[in-house]
Structure 1
Amino acid sequence: MAQNPRTTENDTAPETRRNSRLTRRNYVRSLAAVATAATSAAAIGTATADESYETIEISSGEDRTIEVGSGETFENKLIDCTASGARATVTAYGSDWTIRNVAVKGRLDVGKPGAVFGLGDTGNGSSTFENVYLGDGSTNAGHATAETAVWVTPEHNGHIDFKHVNVQEFSDNAIYASAPAGKGGGTIHIDECFAANCRVSHFRIGSAGSKVTNSSVLLDDNGYDGRAVWVWSPGPCEIENCQIETNGRHYAINAGANGSGSTANVSNTDYDTGFHGGIKKLPGAEVNENDVGNDPEAFVPDGVPTSAEDAVSN
Structure 2
Amino acid sequence: MAQNPRTSETDTTPNADRNNGLHRRTYVRSLAAVVTAATTLGAAGTAAAQDDYEVIEAANQNITIEDGETWENKLIDMTNGQDITITTVGSDWTIRNVGFKGKNNSGTGSATFGISDAGGSSTIENVYLGDGSDGRNGSSTGHGQTAFWVDPDHSGHIDMQNVNIQGFADNAVYGSSPGSGGGGTIHIDSCFAANCRVSHFRLATEGSKVTNSGVLVDEEGYAGRGIWAWAPGTIEIEDCQIEMNGNHTAIDAGANGQGTEVLVRNTDYDEQAGIAEHAGSSVQLEGDSGTDPEALIPSGTPTSAEEAAAGDD
State the match for 1:133 in structure 2: 128
Tell me how far apart the structure 2 counterparts of residues 308 and 233 of structure 1 sit (CA, whole Å): 34
Listed one character per residue, the Cα deviations across residues 62-100 of structure 1 (whole Å, up to 9, x for unaligned) are 3111111101111000010101x3110011121000000
- Per the alignment, do residues 164 and 310 of structure 1 end up closer, same or farther by CA in structure 2, a change over 3 Å counting? same
Q: Is the 8 A contact 1:176 1:204 kept in 2?
A: yes
Q: Deviations over 1:221-269 (max 9, x none)?
A: 2661100000100000100000000010110000111100000000000
TM-aligned CA deviation for residue 28 of structure 1: 7.7
Segments of 5+ residues of structure 1 without an aligned counterpart are 1-9
1:95-118 alpha-carbon deviations (Å, 9 max, x no partner)? 000000001111111222200000
Q: How many residues were matched structurally?
A: 296
CA distance in 2, matches of 1:23, 1:308: 35
Contact kept, 8 Å, 2:175 with 2:203, in 1: the verdict is: yes
Going from structure 1 to structure 2, the CA distance change for 1:22 and 1:273 (only over 3 Å counts) comes to farther
- Code of the aligned partner of 1:179: S
Rounded to whole Å, the distance in 1 between the matches of 2:220 and 2:78 is 21
| Correspondence 1:283-298 to 2 at 5 A | 283-290=279-286, 291-298=288-295
Q: Residues 134, 223 of structure 1: CA spacing in aligned structure 2 closer, same or farther, 3 A cutoff? A: farther
**CA-based RMSD:** 2.4
Partners of 1:168 and 1:141 in 2: how far apart? 16
- In the TM superposition, 1:1-314 aligns within 5 A as 11-13=9-11, 20=18, 24=22, 26=26, 30-34=30-34, 36-41=36-41, 43=43, 51-58=51-58, 62-83=59-80, 85-122=81-118, 124-142=119-137, 144-221=142-219, 224-275=222-273, 278-290=274-286, 291-314=288-311
Q: Give structure 2 stretches of 5+ with no counterpart.
A: 1-7
Cα distance in 2 for partners of 1:104, 1:239 equals: 27
TM-score (norm 1): 0.88
Please tell me the residue identity of whatever aligns with 2:39.
T
Q: Identical aligned pairs, as a percentage? A: 55
Question: How far is 1:215 from its partner?
Answer: 0.2
Partners of 1:43 and 1:37 in 2: how far apart? 10
Q: Distance in 2 between matches of 1:36 and 1:78?
A: 22
Corresponding residue for 1:4?
Answer: none
Measure, in 1, the Cα distance between the counterparts of 2:197 and 2:217. 10
Q: State the distance in 2 between where 1:255 and 1:27 align.
A: 28
Contact 1:46 1:53 in 2 (8 A): no
Instruction: Tell me how far apart the structure 2 counterparts of residues 106 and 23 of structure 1 sit (CA, whole Å).
Output: 33
Give the direction of change, closer, same or farther, for the CA distance of 1:264–1:81 in structure 2 (3 Å limit): same
C-alpha contact 1:194 1:215 (8 A) present in aligned 2: yes
Q: Secondary structure of 1:311's partner?
A: helix
CA distance in 1 between counterparts of 2:13 and 2:63 reads: 26
